[in-house]
Structure 1
Amino acid sequence: MSDTLPDNTLPRKTQQPPKRSLLGPATLVTAAFIGPGTVITASLAGANYGYALVWALLFSVFATMVLQEMAARLGIVTGRGLGENLRELVRQPLLRWPLLLLVVAAIVIGNSAYQGGNISGAALGADALFGHLPLIQRWHSSTGINLWALLLGTLAAVVLWFGQYKLIERCLIALVLLMSLAFIGTMLLTKPDLAALFKGAFIPVIPPGAILTVVALIGTTVVPYSLFLHAAGAAQKWPKQQIDTDTALKASRQDIAVAIPLGGLISIAIVSTAAAAFFGREQQLENVAQLAQSLTPLFGNAATWCLALGLMAAGLSSAITAPLAAAYALSGILGKPLNLKLPLFRLTWLFIIVCGVLLASLGIRPVSVIWFAQVANGILLPLICLCLLLAMNHALLGPYKNNHWQNALGVLVLLVSLLLSGRSLALAFALL
C-alpha cells in the first residue's frame, strides 16, 4: 500500500464557482453501458420473459450507483484516475504487475474486440434509417464494405481528437438524451402493460431458464471499464486546484443520481418494447434488426424509426466511451498524465477505433479475441471491486473514506461481481 499522496490531494477552496449541471461525468457511464450489448440483452429479456426481469435492471442500477460513487469520489479526492490510484495502492511487485497487465488485457485489448460490435450496432441503426438512399445502396453493392461503419468510426475519432473533456462530455450528454427520447418514445408508442411492468419491477421472480438472462442484464450494466472512465472524468470535471472537495462531491452525487437511473430507464424501455412486440407470440426474437422490422406492422413506422435512432445513438456513444476508457486506464497505469492530447492517449483510443472500424466494415468477428476478453473481464471485475473497496478505506482519504454503510453496500456489490465473473468465465470456457 502507498503511504503518500500528492500534496494537491488536500481539499481546496473554490476559486471559481462550478457551473451547475444535472449531467456530468456519470453520463459517460450511462453512454458506456447503454450500447448494442445492452440493447440486445434487454430485448431478449423482454421478448422471452416479458416484464418479469425488470427488477434485475433496478438492482443493476443500484449496484452501478454504489460503485460509480466510490470511483468518482476517489477521482475527486485524489485528483487522479483509477489507474493511477491502483499503481499507488498495490506496491508489491508480485501483485502489482499481474493486476496492471490484467487491466490492460481486459480493457485495452477487450475494448478493441468489442468496439467492432459498438460500431456495427450504430451502423445497423443508421442503415435502418438511411439505408434506402440510392448512394448508400450503390456503395454497398459495389464495394461490400459497410459505409456506416467508416462514417461512424470517423465521427467517434473526430470527437476524441479535439482532446477537450467538455466537448466529449457534451457530445455524450446529447447522445444519452437522444437515446432517452428514442427508446422511451418507442416504449410509449408500443403502449406497455403498466401493471405487469410495475409488478416485474417490485416483485422479484426468476422464470424457468431465466437465471443466465438475469446475470446478463446485471453484467451489461456493471462493467469494470466504467470505473476508470468515471474516476478520470470526475477528476477532470472538478479539478482539485479550482473546486472545493465537498462542493465537487455534492455535484458528483447529484450527477450520479440523475444519469445512472436515466440509463436504467432506457434499459427498461427496451425490455418493455420487446415484451410488447414479442412476448406471448409464436414468433421468436433473434436479433435487434428483427425487433425493429416487427414494430412497423404492429405499431407503425414511428416506432421502428425511434428504435433505429436509439440503436444508432447507443452504438455511437459506446464507440466513443470504450476507446476513451481504455486510454484513461492505460495512461493511468503507466503513470502518465490524463491529458487527452498526449500522443500515448491519442494512439490508444485511435488504435481501438481503427480495430472497431475494420471489424465492423469488413464483417469480421474476432472470436478468439472476444473469448480472451471475456476471460480477462471475468477475472478483472471482482478484483477491481476489491481494489476499489480497499482504496476507499485508505486512511489517507481522511473524512472522505467509506463509512460502514458504504462498505456494506460495496461488499454486496463485490459478491454480485463474483457471480458475474463466474458467469463470464463459464460462458467463455463453454466455447472451447
Structure 2
Amino acid sequence: METKEPLVQESLSHGQKEKLTFAEYMKSLGPGTIVAAGIIGPGTVTTASVAGATYGYQTVWILVLACIIAYFYQEPALRITVYKNMTIMEGVRRHISPWGAAFLFLTILVGVIAFQAGNFIGAGLAMNFFVPGVSISVWACILAVLALVISWVGVYRIMENIMTAAVVSMALAFVITAFSSGPDLGQLVTEGFSLTIPGGDIWLVAALVATTLPPNIVLALSVFTKKRNSGKTRLDGGHEKKLKLARFDLGINSAILALITVGIVIAAGTVIFPTGQVIASAADMAVQLTPLLGRYAGILFALGLFAAGFTSGLYQISLQPSFLNDAFGWEDDARAVRSKLIMILAALSPVVIIFLFGSAPIQLVITAQALNGVALPIVAVFVLVLLNKKAFLGDKVNSRKQNISFGAITCIVVILGLQVLLRLFGVI
C-alpha cells in the first residue's frame, strides 16, 4: 500500500525551501553506500587491476566517466521510490507487466547463483593471503555462511553499518596503496585524462563501464531507499527534502566508487605496468605488490579485496527476498519462509558450486553473462517507461531534458548488453 507524507511537509516544497543541516546530510548516507559496496566486487577489482597493469594510467578517465554514467543511471530510481514509496520492481509489476517483473527476478537470480561463487572465492583468496593454512574453498564457504547469518537477522541498520565500514576500508586500502606506490602526478593527469582509448580497444571502454553498471543496481537502490524511508531509519521531511538527501547520498558514493576504482588503476599503473608483468586476477595484484612495495601493500590490497568480495556476496543475499516479494506481489516480510529460502539459495548454492567445481563452471558463468546482457537494457527501458507514465508519476514525469539524458544512458546500456551477447557468441 502506498503511503503519503503529511500535507504540511509537502507545502514546504512550494514556497520556502527547507534548509538542510550537515547532520541531516550525514544521516542520509546509507542506500548509496550499500549499492557502491555491492558494485565493487572481485570482478571490478580484477578489471581495474588488469586495466592499470596493461595500460598504465590511460584508463583513469574511462572509470571516472563510468561512475558519472552510473550516477545518472541510478538517479531516476530515487525519484520513483521517494515520490511513490515503491521499488522499481514493484513499479514494473504494477504498471508495465507482471511477467516482466518475474523475468527480471529470475534473470537476476541466475546471475547471483553464478557470480556469488566468484564473490566468496575472491574474499577467500584474500583470507588465504593472511591465513594460508586454511584453503581458499574452506574460507569461501565460511564467509558464505557468515553472510547468510548477517542477512538472516534482516536489520537494515546492521547492513548499512557493515557496508559503510567496508566502503571506508576499501577506500583507505586502495587509495593508500595507490599513493604509497609513488605515482608521477603530472603523468597521471596528462595520461589519465588524455581522453584516448588505450590501444584503440573500444571493448575495453565497454568493459570498464559495464563493471560499474550491473543490471540490478537500479533495482537495488530503490529497495534500500524504500527500506531507509521506513521504520526507525525514516528521514524526516517531505518528498523534495528526501529526494535531495537521497541524491546527495548517491553522489557521494558514486564519487567514492570512482576513488576506489581509480586508486586500483593507479597502483597497478605505477607498480606493475612498468615491469610488463601480467595480471590475471585481483589475487595476482596483491601477490605482486608485496615484493615491489613491501608486505604492507599486499596486506592493504588483500584487505580491500576481502571487503569487495564479502560485501558483494552479503549484498546479493540480502536483496533476494525483496526482489522475490516485489516481483510476485507478496508482502516484503524478511521473516517469511519464502524469504528465508531464497536467502539460503543465494548463500549456499555458491558453496555447493565451489565444492563441486572449485569455482563457478564456465557454462553457468556464460549463461549468467548472457542473461545480464539482456537484463541490463531491459531494466533501463522499464525505468524509462515508468518515468514517462503520467498516471503513475503525475507531474513528476520526465521532462524533455530528462528524457534526452536518460535516453542517452539507455542507449549506452543497450550497446553494453549487445556487446556482452556478441562476445559470448563469438561475433566480436
Q: Percent identity?
A: 30
Equivalent residue pairs, number: 411
Q: 2:413 aligns with which of 402, 407, 417?
A: 417
Give yes or no for contact 2:148–2:317 (8 Å, CA) kept in 1: no
Q: Quick one: structure 1 residues 148 and 358, their matched pair in 2 at CA, closer, same or farther if it must change by over 3 Å?
A: same
Indicate the residue corresponding to 1:118 in structure 2. 119
TM-score, reference length from structure 1: 0.89
Q: Could you tell me which residue of structure 2 aligns to residue 374 of structure 1?
A: 369
1:261 is aligned, of 243, 255, 263, to: 255
Let me know the Cα RMSD of the aligned residues: 2.4
Using the TM superposition, give the Cα deviation of residue 11 of structure 1 relative to its aligned residue in structure 2, in angstroms. Answer: 6.4
Q: Does 1:398 align with 2:394?
A: yes
Q: 1:184 aligns to what?
A: 175
The 5 Å alignment of 1:136-175 reads 137=133, 140=135, 146-175=137-166
Of 283-292 and 361-370, deviating more is: 361-370
| Conservation of the 8 A alpha-carbon contact between 2:120 and 2:143 | yes
Report deviation, 1:199: 2.8
- Unaligned 5+ segments in structure 1 are 1-5, 132-136
Match of 1:339 among 328, 333, 336: 333
How far off its partner does 1:12 sit?
Answer: 5.4
After superposition, the Cα gap between the structure-2 partners of 1:113 and 1:207, relative to the gap in structure 1 and judged at 3 Å, is same
Partner of 1:27: 33
Are 2:98 and 1:104 equivalent residues in the alignment? no
| Counterpart residue identity of residue 253, structure 2 | A
Q: State the partner residue of 1:3.
A: none
1:298-309 → structure 2 map (5 Å cutoff): 298-309=292-303
Moved more, 300-309 or 288-297: 288-297
Matched, 1:79 2:74: no
| 2:128 is equivalent to residue 127 of structure 1 | yes
Query: Which position in structure 2 is the counterpart of 1:385?
Result: 380
How has the CA–CA distance of structure 1 residues 294 and 215 changed in structure 2, closer, same or farther, with 3 Å as cutoff? Answer: same
Q: Deviations over 1:162-217 (max 9, x none)?
A: 11111111111111111111111111111122223223443311122532221111
Query: 220, 227, 248: which one pairs with 2:242?
Result: 248
CA distance in 2, matches of 1:209, 1:361: 40
Cross-structure match for 1:197: 188
Write the deviation string for residues 348-392 of structure 1: whole angstroms up to 9, x where unpaired: 122011012233355132222222111111111111101101112
Structure 1 segment 290-329 matched on structure 2, within 5 A: 290-329=284-323
Higher mean displacement: 110-119 or 81-90 = 81-90
1:277 offset after TM fit, Å? Answer: 2.0
- Name 1:278's counterpart in structure 2: 272
Task: Output the amino acid matched with 1:171.
Answer: I
Q: Structure 2: how far apart are the matches of 1:38 and 1:359? A: 21
Shift of residue 9, structure 1, vs aligned partner: 4.8
Does the 8 Å contact 1:105/1:373 carry over to 2? no
The letter for the 1-side match of 2:69 is A
Residue deviations 1:117-161 (CA, integer Å, cap 9, x gap):
000001111111222xxxxx2x54xxxx72211221122112111
Q: Residues 39-95 of structure 1, C-alpha deviation per residue, up to 9 Å, x if partnerless?
A: 11111110111111111111111111112111122112111211111011214xxxx
Supply the distance in 1 between the matched residues of 2:27 and 2:77 (Cα, whole angstroms).
19
Q: 2:113 is matched by which residue type in structure 1?
A: S
Cα 1:394–1:180 shift into 2, 3 Å: same
Residues 1:284 and 1:380: Cα distance change in structure 2 (over 3 Å): same
Report deviation, 1:13.
5.3
Q: Give me the whole-angstrom Cα distance separating, in 2, the residues matched to 1:204 and 1:164.
A: 44
The one-letter code sitting in structure 2 at the alignment partner of 1:272 is I
Question: Are the counterparts in 2 of residues 232 and 338 from structure 1 also a CA contact under 8 Å?
Answer: no
2:346 corresponds to which of 325, 329, 352 = 352
Q: CA deviation at 1:231?
A: 0.4
User: What is the SS of the residue equivalent to 1:21?
Assistant: helix
The aligned amino acid for 2:364 is: V
2:182 and 2:129 mapped to 1: Cα distance? 22
Seen in structure 2, the aligned counterparts of structure 1 residues 207 and 284 have a Cα distance that, compared at 3 Å, is: same
Secondary structure of the equivalent of 2:159?
A: helix
1:399-430 per-position Cα deviation (integer Å, ceiling 9, x unaligned): 43323332222111111101110111122223
Q: Structure 2: 5+ residue runs without aligned partners?
A: 11-19
Equivalent pair of 1:122/1:313 in contact (CA under 8 Å): yes
Q: Which amino acid aligns with 1:344?
A: R
- Contact map agreement 1:51 1:272 (CA 8 A) in 2: yes
Aligned partners of 1:283, 1:27: CA distance in 2, in Å? 34
Instruction: List, as ranges, runs of 4+ consecutive aligned residues in structure 1 with deviation greater than 4 Å.
Output: 9-15, 17-20, 240-243
Deviations 1:204-249 (A, max 9, x none): 1112253222111100101121111110111111238965212211
Cα separation, 1, equivalents of 2:192 and 2:5: 42
